[in-house]
Chain A
Amino acid sequence: MLKVPTADEPIIQLRDVHKSFGEAEVLKGISFDVRRGEVVCIIGPSGSGKSTLIRCINALVPVTSGTIRVDGIEVADPKLDKLALRRKVGMVFQQYNLFPHRTALQNVMMAPIHVLGQDKREVEVRARALLAKVRLAGKEAAYPGEMSGGQQQRVAIARSLAMRPKVMLFDEVTAALDPETVKEVLVTIRELAEEGMTCLLVTHEMNFAREVADHVYFTDHGVIVEHGSPETLFSSAVDPRTRQFLSQVL
């Protein structure tokens, strides 16, 4: 079922997504939409399935049942064109996962050249601009092992952006960082959001979610317990589980 996406149709659409690992059911029927240009945060206690959820969206993890549609692509389709999906969806991980044997610049340039077969010189111009955009001009020749966590994470963001995605997924990208470098990564993400990039974040940074998100989802034990604008969710949550979680983290 391939539909031509229209401008106001959600760019990400999940309907009744279930995921089990063996006996353990991690996602128990998740449905939500992300519209173009929106910033959506998913919060919730550890083990509530947040990371699994975000990894289902770019097919790193296959769903057990339900449908996921990303900009007209059916992710659960067995004949899924993974490359087409991953061109649209960029992903940034908690552990940065840079390629340690390549410099910052090469990390950003690799995928467009290897995967998309783009011209090396054209990619290099773009990669340098992206590194400057994440405030890493001058670090082009540094290897990941020579950079701080925050710098590595910004390289990872630039690496993802080099593929010109339509959506960016952030999986607890500040959770492994020192407190003082968290801010520089959040600033980068905020700028992306302000430029109109569609962002879906799993995060523990409640202040960031409150300031930047258009919509916040609270998940627990594989279900969406409650959702709403950050103002309503953070100040007047209805469900006791949400209230308890927020009282612990805020």
Chain B
Amino acid sequence: MDAVPNWFRTLYDTTGFNFTVFYDPYDWDRYVNGLKTTLLLAVTTILASLVIGAVGALLQGGPSRFLRGLVNGFVVVFRNTPPLVQIFFFYFGLGTLLPAAQTADGLRVPILDNVQWAIVSLALFAGAFNVEIFRSGIEAVPRTTIEAAEALGYTRLKAYLYIVLPLALRVCLPALNNNLINLLKTTTLAYAIAVPETLYAVKQIWSESQNVLEMMIVLLATYAVLVGILVWIMHRWERALRIPGYSR
């Protein structure tokens, strides 16, 4: 059981490489909690950004000029501004404007805490890109295929759900892959509003233990593995969606 901690303790004693995170239970807990927060941020923002992308792309091609304008405005704003600035805007700008509850001691309890603001702003940031990515897929679906659905009585929404989106997804999956990988890495920006995700936790550890290089290695390896897992999932999804005999 103690083989791993003992090994890293010996490593420190013999070479000076101090991976506290692997033998000090307190540092290990902080690291694991950071990892959990990163996973929470990644999973929620990936799912939310996919929904934003799918709904946005539907409205963008819809009959309502108002909604089309709204989606286009949203995409411009969130694509043309830095994600860190967006996080600051939401947390420090909007966060203080919203009404807040108070505890019995008179402490201010905001409606959304820093983790929730990070999720909201990161989901919108990645969602804006996803709208454009889904649009590229939708434009590749032949007009005649949609016409066939219409002739069978499908409404625009049902045709979108059952025919257009499934086909569009297959076309835009490589681009979607890239954006979701970027999103996973961009969750580190939540550090800036003190969300205790992996970067934040690791930074705390190296500040106290003076082992920047070692914790940097741990940090880089952690994200390399996380992105590796995401890529593996996306490739499995891509394979599952492959259509026999279908070529473009």
Is the beta-carbon distance between B245 and A87 smaller than 8 angstroms? no
Question: Which of the residues A95, A114, A156 comes within 8 Å of B162, measured between beta carbons?
Answer: A114
Q: Complex: how many Å from CA A145 to CA B152?
A: 21
B230-248 interface with A by 8 A CB criterion = 241, 243-247
Q: Is the CB of B150 within 8 A of A115?
A: no
How many residues of chain B have a CB within 8 Å of chain A? 24
Nearest CB in chain B: distance from A144 CB, A: 7
Assuming A60-B147, A93-B148, A99-B145, is B244 touching A114 (CB within 8 A)?
A: no
A115 CA / B157 CA spacing, docked (Å):
11
Given contacts A101-B170, A145-B243, contact A95 B152 (CB under 8 A): no
Residue B25 at the chain A interface, CB threshold 8 Å? no
Residue in A93, A95, A115, A160 with the greatest tally of chain B CB atoms within 10 Å: A115
Interface residues of B in 127-182 (CB under 8 A from A): 142, 144-145, 147-155, 158, 162-163, 166-167, 170
Inter-subunit contact A115/B147 (CB<8 Å): no
With A and B bound together, what is the CA distance between A143 and B152 in angstroms? Answer: 19
A189 in contact (CB, < 8 A): no
Q: Is the CB of A101 within 8 A of B151?
A: no
Tell me whether chain B's interface is mostly helix, strand or loop, or mixed.
Answer: helix
Interface set, chain A 100-139, CB cutoff 8 A to B? 100-101, 110-111, 114-116
Q: How far is the CA of A143 from the CA of B243 in the complex (A)?
A: 8
Q: Is the CB of B246 within 8 A of A97?
A: no
B144: contacting residue among A97, A114, A143, A144, CB under 8 A:
A97
B162 touches A110 (CB 8 A): yes
B154, B167, B245: the one within 8 Å of A111 (CB): B154
B244 x A146 contact (CB < 8 A): yes
Contact B247 A145 (CB under 8 A): yes
**Residue of B with least CB distance to A82:** B153
Contact of B244 (CB < 8 Å), options: A98, A143, A156: A143
The answer to whether the Cβ of A35 comes within 8 Å of any Cβ in the partner chain is no
Q: Is the CB of B244 within 8 A of A87?
A: no
Q: Are A111 and B244 in contact (CB under 8 A)?
A: no
Q: Which residues of B contact A60 (CB under 8 A)?
A: 147, 150-151
Give B247's nearest chain A residue, CB to CB.
A145
Residues of B near A145 (CB, < 8 A) are: 243-247
Cβ of A219 under 8 Å from chain B = no
Q: Are B166 and A83 in contact (CB under 8 A)?
A: no
Measured CB to CB, the residues of A under 8 A from B are: 58, 60, 82-83, 86-87, 89-91, 93, 95, 97-101, 110-111, 114-116, 143-147, 156, 159-160, 163
Taking beta carbons and an 8 Å cutoff, which residues of B are in contact with A? 142, 144-145, 147-155, 158, 162-163, 166-167, 170, 241, 243-247
In the complex, the 5 A-B pairs of residues with the closest C-beta atoms, listed nearest first: A145-B245, A97-B148, A146-B245, A111-B152, A86-B153
